[in-house]
Structure 1
Amino acid sequence: MSRPYKEIQSIEEWNAALEGSASRPLVVFKHSTTCPVSANAYNEFANYLNSDAASEDTDYVLVKVIESRPVSNQIAEDVAVKHESPQIILVKDKAKYWTASHWSITEAHMKAVMN
């Protein structure tokens, strides 16, 4: 069963998602719509969301880094993670728990870390 994700485009939406991570894990996928590596990572992210491994007790958000640059920059600042794209960040209790970027973003890697 596929888990839904929400695209966030404003600082307000990001702040709400970050606040929510105090009670539910949050997975942030930072995606560049112009990058082939990011397209591959997006497919891996989608495969993970379509797998049985994706938890329904976790919130998933997507940020398009070019279209929503201020949000992307705020995320990097708030969770103290140097911006990369593509990038996946697992946030728990409003802090970075795990991050990966580029070719490290695979369905298998996500399953290993998040389960």
Structure 2
Amino acid sequence: MGIFNKIFGSSDASEAPEPSKIQWKPLTDLSQLDTIVEESKAKPVAIFKHSTRCGISRMVIKQFESQYDLEENQMTMYYLDLLNYRPISQEIAARFQVWHESPQLILVKNGITVGHASHSQINAIPLAQFV
């Protein structure tokens, strides 16, 4: 393992996020976007768009997971592997009217985007204010 892999993690595109206290739901099908809209009417939903080949994205998701302090029933968390599901990412940008960036966190409540951030700003979002 090289020095950059030690710092930023592996670049293996088949990797899923490491186990964390977040109960990630893999976002792998366009039809799930309709489900997200419906789920967001009962509780907020977050979509984390992650590039598995990007060291910055890996660093941000690790920080996000370590700082995440909500209970499982407070927010539904979706994980999108951008490299394997690019069409879903494009539809998210269109449907939720948020310019695509990576990494990116999009918060949906009552069917609409109520917050979003990318890169290091993801960890600055106070998630509790959306619950």
Shorter-chain TM-score: which interval?
0.7 to 0.9
Residue number in structure 1 paired with 2:5: none
Question: Among 18, 21, 28, which residue is 2:47 paired with?
Answer: 28
SS in 1 for 2:53: coil
**Which amino acid is the alignment partner of residue 10 of structure 1?**
D
Instruction: Provide the rounded CA distance (Å) in 1 between the counterparts of 2:42 and 2:67.
Output: 22
Residue number in structure 2 paired with 1:15: 34
SS in 1 for 2:101: coil
Matches within 5 A, 1:30-69: 30-49=49-68, 53-55=69-71, 56-69=73-86
Query: 1:26-67: CA deviations, max 9, x gaps?
Result: 011000011111011111221134xxx213221000001111
| TM-score (norm: length of structure 1) | 0.85
**Aligned-pair Cα RMSD in Å:** 1.6
Q: Relative contact order: is structure 1 or structure 2 higher (C-alpha 8 Å, sep ≥ 6)?
A: 1
- Pick the structure with greater CA Rg: 2
Instruction: Provide the rounded CA distance (Å) in 1 between the counterparts of 2:30 and 2:97.
Output: 16
- Retained in 2: the 8 A contact 1:32–1:38? yes
In the alignment of these two chains, the number of paired residues is: 109
Instruction: Provide the rounded CA distance (Å) in 1 between the counterparts of 2:93 and 2:26.
Output: 17
SS in 2 for 1:11: coil
Q: Which ranges in structure 1 are unaligned for 5 or more consecutive residues?
A: none
1:114 and 2:131 equivalent?
A: no
Per-residue deviation at 1:79? 0.7
Instruction: Provide the rounded CA distance (Å) in 2 between the counterparts of 1:13 and 1:95.
Output: 15
SS in 1 for 2:60: helix
Instruction: Provide the rounded CA distance (Å) in 2 between the counterparts of 1:18 and 1:74.
Output: 13
Instruction: Provide the rounded CA distance (Å) in 2 between the counterparts of 1:27 and 1:101.
Output: 13
- Retained in 2: the 8 A contact 1:48–1:54? no
Q: Which ranges in structure 2 are unaligned for 5 or more consecutive residues?
A: 1-19
Query: 1:72-103: CA deviations, max 9, x gaps?
Result: 11111111000000000111011111111012
